[in-house]
């Protein structure tokens, strides 16, 4: 059984979330807390294996709680956020939350049970979290990342870079784009994330990095030095139209496991770029992206997986490596310089 702590200032939310978790038969709620101060007490007393955390609370809020938690008792945290604080979830992820879920209908929601399946899946994935990497990542995020010069580095043999990520991905992606000098190629990113949040994430990274970052749109021509975030709930592919890389954004099919799908993005990019691309698999649960690596390698593309030494959840990189189709395994903090060298033809 997974030992969980539920922190929320709404009594209704605490009762409902606890009931939802225990109904899975895999989780036991060892305690609940009414705010961050109470959450600290219950964490010390019960040492939960996973915590669900409201962000907007009196006295000590979710952000202050996260700072304390990562410094004292690193624990996987799922931020359960109201729609009013959509943008706040990215700050929570920076501070060490491993994932997030939006409450349907507001802070106190009678529709809370709609998130039950997603909540249980994310709690289950907490078992895969590297607490050492989680604590280190949260500590590093407290120090502002230095932004590289906006002058573009010309690419000698790379026309396109595609990236796939899931749990733990947003802070990793933010760090990469803050610390990578602007490369003269377009990036397309498939980050497993719900609709709306991909746009908010793009806006955040656009402000914090020297790159132009935006949510991708169907028919959009890709520009060098820009980053396109695949829209949540949709499928994004890269095609060549009149000799130019162009995004194709379409509705997901009923059988699609991931929306956006890293495999769909990678497979299309390999064809569109005729192998002049880099594909990077970052932290996350599952195996999305692994299937497409063989086609990328066969077309002449370069494949990279994040190292276990830095991944919050090593699932996606591990499955990619198991295919035997990964050229390099690179820790997160070395990826910016590694991409620059590849694009410079080193």
User: Phi/psi of residue 116, each to 5°?
Assistant: -55, -50
CA angle (157, 158, 161) in 5-degree steps: 165
The reply to whether 166 belongs to the active site is yes
99 belongs to the catalytic site? no
Q: Which of the residues 10, 268, 288, 310 is marked catalytic?
A: 288
- Contact call for residues 284 and 165 (beta carbons, < 8 A): yes
Residue for token digits 């907007």?
56
Which one of 192, 206, 273, 287 is the catalytic residue? 192
Q: Name, in order, each residue with C-beta under 8 angstroms of 78's C-beta and a sequence gap of 6 or more.
A: 50, 51, 52, 53, 97, 98, 99, 100, 101, 119, 122, 123, 126
Query: Which three-class secondary structure state does DSSP give residue 206?
Result: helix
Give kind and range of the element (H or E) at residue 17.
helix 11-23
State the Rg of the chain over Cα: 20
Q: Is 192 a catalytic residue?
A: yes
First-to-final CA distance of the chain: 49
How far is the CA of 193 from the CAs of 18, 105, 170, in angstroms?
24, 19, 9
Q: Which residue has the tokens 């624990």?
A: 75
Catalytic residue, candidates 81, 125, 130, 166: 166
**CA–CA dist 249, 212 (Å, integer):** 19
Sign of dihedral through CA atoms 38, 142, 50, 199?
positive
Query: Any idea which residues carry the catalytic annotation?
Result: 166, 192, 288
């Amino acid at each position: 059984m997974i030992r969980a702590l539920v922190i929320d200032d709404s009594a209704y939310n605490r009762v409902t979330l606890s009931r939802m978790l225990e109904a899975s038969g895999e989780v036991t709620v060892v305690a609940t807390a009414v705010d961050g101060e109470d959450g600290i007490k219950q964490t010390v007393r019960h040492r939960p294996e996973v915590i669900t955390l409201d962000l907007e609370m009196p006295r000590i809020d979710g952000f202050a709680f996260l700072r304390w938690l990562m410094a004292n008792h690193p624990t996987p945290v799922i931020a359960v956020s109201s729609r009013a604080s959509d943008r706040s979830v990215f700050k929570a992820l920076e501070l060490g939350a491993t994932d997030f879920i939006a409450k349907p209908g507001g802070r106190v929601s009678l529709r809370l049970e709609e998130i039950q399946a997603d909540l249980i899946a994310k709690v289950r994935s907490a078992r895969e979290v590297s607490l050492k990497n989680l604590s280190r990542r949260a500590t590093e995020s407290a120090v502002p990342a230095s932004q590289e010069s906006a002058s573009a580095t010309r690419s000698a043999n790379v026309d396109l870079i595609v990236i796939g990520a899931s749990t733990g991905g947003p802070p990793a992606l933010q760090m990469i784009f803050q610390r990578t000098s602007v490369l003269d190629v377009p990036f397309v990113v498939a980050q497993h994330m719900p609709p709306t949040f991909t746009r908010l994430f793009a806006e955040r990274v656009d402000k914090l990095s020297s790159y132009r970052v935006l949510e991708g749109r169907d028919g959009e021509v890709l520009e060098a030095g820009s980053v396109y975030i695949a829209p949540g709930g949709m499928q994004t592919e890269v095609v060549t139209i009149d000799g130019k890389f162009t995004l194709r954004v379409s509705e997901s099919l009923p059988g699609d496991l991931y929306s956006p799908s890293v495999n769909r993005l990678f497979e299309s990019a390999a064809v569109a770029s005729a192998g002049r691309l880099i594909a990077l698999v970052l932290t996350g649960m599952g195996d999305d992206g692994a299937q497409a690596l063989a086609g990328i390698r066969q077309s002449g593309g370069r494949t990279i997986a994040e190292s276990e030494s830095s991944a919050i959840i090593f699932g996606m990189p591990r499955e990619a490596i198991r295919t035997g189709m990964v050229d390099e395994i690179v820790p997160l903090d070395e990826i910016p310089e590694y991409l620059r060298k590849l694009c410079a033809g080193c």
